[in-house]
Structure 1
Amino acid sequence: MSLRFQNNYHREIWTMVERHQPNCSDGSNWVKEGWWRIGPGESAVVYGGDVNAVNQIWYCYAYSGDGVEWRDRFQETVPHRAFEWCSNTSDTSSRTILMNEFVVSRPNHVHSFNP
C-alpha cells in the first residue's frame, strides 16, 4: 500500500506532501515532507505506509522550473531543501506555499499533476 505522485506535465516537478500524524513532536497533528523531483511521465512513492491507516485527507504542493504551480488555498511553511517536519516547524529559510487538499480512499492511490 502506498501513495504515489504522477507527473503528467511536460517538465520536471518538485513536490511535497502533508499527512495526518497525531502527537507530532511540535504539538501538531500533521507531518510535512518533500521535495521529490519527478520527471515528465514519471512517478514517485511519497508515502510507503498503509494509506488506509492514515486520515483520508492529505495535502500537496508542486512546482516546475517554468513557474507552473499546483496549489490551492491551504497555507503551509516549507524550506527550500529536503525536509520532514511537523506542521508547526519552520526556520528562517522557509517560505509560504498554498497546498491542494485531496482524498486518499484506496490502497496504492495515485495522485496526478496534470497540465
Structure 2
Amino acid sequence: MKKDNIIQIKSYDFAVKIVNLYQYLSRERKEFVLSKQLLRSGTSIGANIEEAIGGQSRKDFYSKLTISYKEARETHYWLRLLRDTDYLSQKESDLLLDDIEEILKIIGSIQKTIRNS
C-alpha cells in the first residue's frame, strides 16, 4: 500500500473498524441482520478502491470508484439506522459517521477530478 494514497489508507482503516463493530454487534448486542449488511457495504468500499487502483483503464478505475461511492452511501445509511434503533450510541455512531463522510468527500473529489479532466 502506497504511503500517500489517502483513500486507500482511510478505506482500509474504516473496514477494520467495521469488522470490529460487526463482531461487537453480533456478540454483545445479538444483532445479526443489520450488522451483516453493514459488514458487507463497509468492507466493500476499500475492496472496490483496491480494484480501482488495479484497473485496466481510466474507465475501469472510474467505474470501481463509483461502486465504492455507492457502498459508502449504503454504509452511511446502515450506521444511521443502527444508531436510530439504539444498537449504537450517539457517540459510537458519530465517530464512524464522521469517518464515512470524510471517505465520501474524498471519493467524490476524485470522481469530480476525473470527470473534469
Q: Which has the higher contact order (CA 8 A, sep 6+)?
A: 1
Q: Which protein is richer in helix relative to its size?
A: 2
TM-score (norm 1): 0.27
Whichever of the two has the greater Rg, that structure is: 2
